[in-house]
Structure 1
Amino acid sequence: MSQHIDTHEEHTHDDHAGMSKGKIWKVFFILLFITVIEFIIALWIKPAGYFGDHAILIGNTLYIALTLLKAFYIVAYFMHLKFEKLGLQLALSVSFIFIIYFIVLMLIEGGYIHDHMPQL
């Protein structure tokens, strides 16, 4: 017979022991800071024309980068992916990268017919 019985409570407590209230608040303030930066860009910098002729491209690129950073923090800490095994982290990360790649590919190729079809 087995001497040690692994209960669900022991397993859960050991895997997620690194998530304290202090760390939760730290992640919250990081997310708040990123959101404030997004609002400053959207409501002050972009309308004032600080990005010049490429305002839409630079603004959208910054939004996407900041949103991906926020998504990383949410998935890593609040969905506990940071505390999972490396294999699961890699499987989800690689899948996410391929999904983003296919979305970008479809957006690029989606305009091909419109650009290359003769106008009727």
Structure 2
Amino acid sequence: MSTEETSHAHDEHHGEHESMTKKKIWNVFWVLLLITTIEFIIALYLVPKGIIPLHFANPIYIILTLLKAFYIVAYFMHLKFEKIGLIYSIALPVIFIVGLILVLTNESHHWVDLR
């Protein structure tokens, strides 16, 4: 392998993750902190005060948690920079798991209401 080929291969590898700068990492950190803060406000203030009913808060928690999981997987595990097939191999099971969580949450409310 010539030095030109080695240099080209190194540039391709470097280009794959070049958008993960310190600034981008801090931006992701602040987004994750904001989402977590919203979850805490809902859990510690809005639900106990009765501003948001619990059956509305639970789906909001699930959506916000999945959004945080997306940011962690996409940026810190570098899947945002991977091929689309790898992303689909992770995204499709997550969609099915979200559906399962929603069905189980609905079913749990049904059993509680039977009491």
Bin the TM-score by the shorter chain: 0.7 to 0.9
Q: Tell me, which stretches of 5 or more residues in structure 1 are unaligned? A: 115-120
Query: What amino acid is the match of 1:96?
Result: V
Aligned residues: CA RMSD:
2.6
CA drift of 1:89 comes to: 1.1
- Aligned partner of 2:89 in structure 1 is 91
User: Matched residues, percent identical?
Assistant: 49
Write out aligned runs for 1:14-93 (5 A): 14-51=15-52, 55-93=53-91
Distance 1:93 1:6, change over 3 A: farther
Provide the TM-score with structure 2 as the length reference.
0.76
Distance 2:30 2:11 in 1: 30
Structure 1 runs, 4 residues or longer, greater than 4 Å off: 5-11, 102-105
Distance 2:94 2:7 in 1: 33
Distance 1:31 1:94 in 2: 23
CA drift of 1:8 comes to: 7.6
Q: Is 1:13 aligned to 2:14, yes or no?
A: yes
| SS class of match (2:40) | helix
Provide the TM-score with structure 1 as the length reference.
0.73
Tell me if structure 1 keeps the 8 A contact 2:59–2:102.
no
CA drift of 1:102 comes to: 4.5
Q: Tell me, which stretches of 5 or more residues in structure 2 are unaligned? A: none
How many aligned residue pairs are there?
Answer: 106
Q: Choose 1 or 2 for highest CA Rg.
A: 1
